[in-house]
Amino acid sequence: SDSLTMDAIQQWLHRFALEITTQADWLTELDSAIGDADHGTNMVRGTGAVVAKLNGGATGTVQELLKAVGMTLVSSVGGASGSLYGTFFLEMGRNSPSGEQLNASELEKALRAGVDGVVARGHAAVGDKTMVDALEPAVTALYQSLANGLRLHDSVAAAAAAATTGRDSTEPLVARKGRASYLGERSAGHIDPGAASSAILVAALAATVGE
Ligand code: ADP
Ligand code: MG
Ligand code: MG
């Protein structure tokens, strides 16, 4: 379908949590190379808290749902990624219409606002070896695909492909933001863990809209 219902948004978040759990050891391994080896556990804790919140009965509007997700992530994750993912969902919610679904263009605008929120909060640009390297090209690909007349299903698939490419682009980079930047040149040669979890987030969206 060409819009995302409340049910679909919740499926997206459930799938994100499931995929994070499946890939937690890898995320922590990535963070052990250039950080403090907690990204997998941070994200498992955060997405687990989100699932618990949803199972507790998330009703209301898209705005309210996304705001609750953001607040849950901020308060449960800790670490840099908690406030950044939290900001992502809070800004997505703040920039969603107060209805019970998002059409393609509303989804694109909300995701764009989420990414802009991450950039405003963390001051990372593309190329700084952070989650922005996966998120920014994903939202750009979504925008361009929709502008080219593609269906939502194909547009989110393009976004997921761009996120994966963006994730992989972080490997040779020297980190300029976050804990990995303390390593300087030694941060090169490893995929950024936050870019990896962000690619999972976009892939989960593509898998949901594919249904
Ligand atoms: P911490 O570094 O506090 O242990 P995590 O390990 O959970 O937190 O998350 C690390 C990830 O957070 C990094 O891989 C990077 O993608 C992201 N990150 C850190 N600082 C920033 C920033 N300023 N802007 C965007 N993303 C950032
Ligand atoms: Mg860490
Ligand atoms: Mg940490």
Domain spans in the chain, listed from the N-terminal domain onward: 3-209
Minimum mean pLDDT range among 3-17, 55-69, 134-148, 168-182 = 55-69
Distance 194 CA to ligand 1 centre (A): 6
Per-residue tokens: 131: 């989650």
Report the atom number in ligand 1 closest to the C-alpha of 192.
14
What span, in angstroms and rounded, lies between the C-alpha atoms of 130 and 187? 12
pLDDT of 1 strictly over 80: no
Q: Which fold has domain 3-209?
A: 1.25.40
pLDDT for residue 79: 86
